[in-house]
Amino acid sequence: MMMTMADSPSSKPLPPLLAGIHTADDLKAMPAEKLPELAQEIRETLIRTLAETGGHLAPNLGLVELSIALHRVFRTPQDKILFDVSHQCYIHKLLTGRASQFHTIRQYQGLSGFCKRSESPHDAYGAGHAGTALSAGLGMAAARDLAGDNYHVISVVGDGAFTCGTTLEGLNNIATTTRKFILILNDNEMSIDRNVGALSHYFSTLQETDTYEWLRRRTKNIIEKLAGTKARQQVSKLVHAAHTLITPLSFFQELGLSYYGPVDGHDTLRLEKLLRIVAKAEGPAIVHVITEKGRGYAPAAENPTKFHGIGQYRVEDGSTPAGKALTYSEAFGRSLSQLAADDPDIVAITAAMPTGTRLDIFRERFPRRYFDVGIAEEHAALFACGLATQGLKPYLAVYSTFMQRCVDMIQHDAALQNLPVRFCMDRAGLSPDDGPTHHGLYDIAMLRCIPNLILMQPKDEAELAHMLATMNGINHCPSAIRYPRGAGEGLPLPTETAPLPLGKAEVLHPGGEVLLVALGNMNATAARVREILAAQGISCGHINARFVVPLDTETILRESAQAKLIVTLEDHVITGGFGSCVLEALQTAGCGTRVLRIGWPAEFIEHGTEQHLRAKHHLTPQAISATILHTLS
């Protein structure tokens, strides 16, 4: 049975101030002395709601006052506010007419956990990957300028996203593209305060006055009239030099942006005052805001990594239910560490996801052989290629949805040069609650056409350990492994791992009237399908494919000799995926047996629980069995 918005976690009455905000005018009309109380109500709503739905708690707790100030100064949807990565847009949703629906966030048919243009006109740009807001916002500003409009474009970018190449590329083009653009640097590391202390505070306070902004422009104009343009330029250089002495981030000025800050990101009135000044200033600007991730909820403030993206938890102490089985990510971290204990050439790389990929396990044991390059997947792939040229064995662990950014490097750098980089794609398949930005449903189609690349997927966590050992022995070309999000099948990890025969499938049951050829975690589904069909008098063979490339065509042909139907099963889109690979191979071999491909449709799959999504798209064992019976009839 599918879940509707009415089936989502229960809606509790909104607190009074938040309940009274229906439009931008309601927020703008709120007395300033009420804003701290509003911020508290928003935090309580976030903490209470996400305890039931899960979500990105810590980032949003840190952005409450900034979000309030932005919506009091600017007016969406006329003004465009973009969030990078956009998982910190929950307060934005609460303040733009969606507070009554907030209890449905990340639930099936409910609000998205990210900005989504089709959800609301206030969501100027939808994204779930880092490094998008600056360039997209700059494109909007350029379009505005061409049309002769005058609205504001504000990109809110976290400090972590500044390690992303696209952010730096966009930053390089701001001054030459537009004269009106506001970049908010949301810095939750507080490095500026520690570095410059009182001087920084003094300078930021000075900048937060209309007098300073007016005096700076007026003085330059007077000097130019009295002594000419060159004199004005010399004075500007002196001002810039003085600014450089007390502002470590002065390189923004070199790129043509006026720098404002740092400013306390939890002082709504001060933020509002500064944003009004910046909105009237000439030229593109960057506002440096210092925030505290997890602010207002002790468990999140003390452990912001855990509460960055979290499932259900107890409000009282932030505790979460214990997992019933080892996750694939943890199996990966443990197994790779076990291999590395015996092989000093193994090194591990992540792109700002040590905990998510569980490379934190590896880091603890082998800190010198562990590299976190930040949100820079392309660099991570090239960095791994460089390591491989020197005889090391790099394992790059990245979520499948983010590995998409590495496709050029996998093809042009790793495969073309036969460099043995090991690409480990976590969260391959469905990423239910996060939705289309995070589903890892496209990696097979992107990678299987690349020459000189081996691609595999294990059926369970124990086989994952053996596949990592297999990859460790592949030293003549790049290899890739994909494995799903969440708990495995509940199997113990092997104490010793042996490489699997390269390109060889595993026959779990000999062929019958129907041959099920399953990839990865779909083997558990195939086993249940086989039971259902057996009860209908249909004999089924079952193959665990293990490898997409090279495909074990020989075993498939042998086991399908008596079959009326070959059924492929994959946790991937059906277009260009594993089933297509099997279909192509059988056609080349001259096999005329009918092939039924089971997988996700070639569309962007919405967010919701795995149970609901599989039911909707006919990917439960019962639905697959019915499809097979219909095809045989």
Q: What are the pLDDT digits (tens) for 324-373? A: 789 999 999 999 999 999 999 999 999 989 999 999 999 999 999 999 99
Q: What is the model's pTM?
A: 0.88
- What is the model's pLDDT at position 235? 57
**Do 506-632 and 5-195+252-299 have the same topology in CATH?**
yes
Residue with tokens 């929950």: 90
Question: For this structure, is 293 an active site residue?
Answer: yes
- What is the model's pLDDT at position 305? 86
Question: For this structure, is 189 an active site residue?
Answer: no
Selected catalytic residue, list 80, 106, 334, 405: 405
- Angle, CA 171 vertex, CA 403 and CA 64 arms, to 5°: 80
Burial zone of 33 (CB within 10 Å; 0-12 exposed, 13-18 middle, 19+ buried) = exposed
Residue with tokens 């070199």: 254
In the structure encoding, which two tokens stand for residue 227, read together? 């002594």
User: CB neighbours of 521 closer than 8 A, spacing ≥ 6?
Assistant: 429, 457, 459, 460, 483, 484, 571
Parallel, antiparallel, or unpaired: how do β-strands 454-456 and 547-549 relate?
A: antiparallel
Report yes or no: 67 and 91 within 8 Å, Cβ to Cβ.
Answer: yes
- What is the model's pLDDT at position 321? 85
- What is the model's pLDDT at position 441? 97
Query: What class does CATH assign to 506-632?
Result: alpha beta
- Which CATH superfamily does the domain covering 5-195+252-299 fall into? Thiamin diphosphate (ThDP)-binding fold, Pyr/PP domains (3.40.50.970)
**How far is it, in rounded angstroms, from Cα 320 to Cα 311?**
8
In the structure encoding, which two tokens stand for residue 6, read together? 């009415």
Q: Which amino acid is present at 601?
A: P
Structure confidence by residue, pLDDT tens digits, 544-564: 999 999 999 999 999 999 999
What is the CB-side half-sphere exposure of residue 98 using CA atoms within 13 A?
22
Selected catalytic residue, list 208, 213, 292, 377: 377
* Distance in angstroms between the alpha carbons of the first and the last residue of the chain: 26
- What is the model's pLDDT at position 261? 81
Domain map of the chain by residue range?
Answer: 5-195+252-299, 328-482, 506-632
- What is the model's pLDDT at position 2? 33
Residues of the chain with pLDDT below 50 are: 1-8, 190-204, 206, 215, 245-246, 248
What is the CB-side half-sphere exposure of residue 43 using CA atoms within 13 A?
23
For residue 566, the surrounding DSSP H or E stretch is strand 565-573
- What is the model's pLDDT at position 230? 60
Span 328-482: which CATH code? 3.40.50.970
Question: For this structure, is 324 an active site residue?
Answer: no
For residue 24, the surrounding DSSP H or E stretch is helix 24-28
- What is the model's pLDDT at position 158? 86
- Angle, CA 516 vertex, CA 605 and CA 553 arms, to 5°: 100
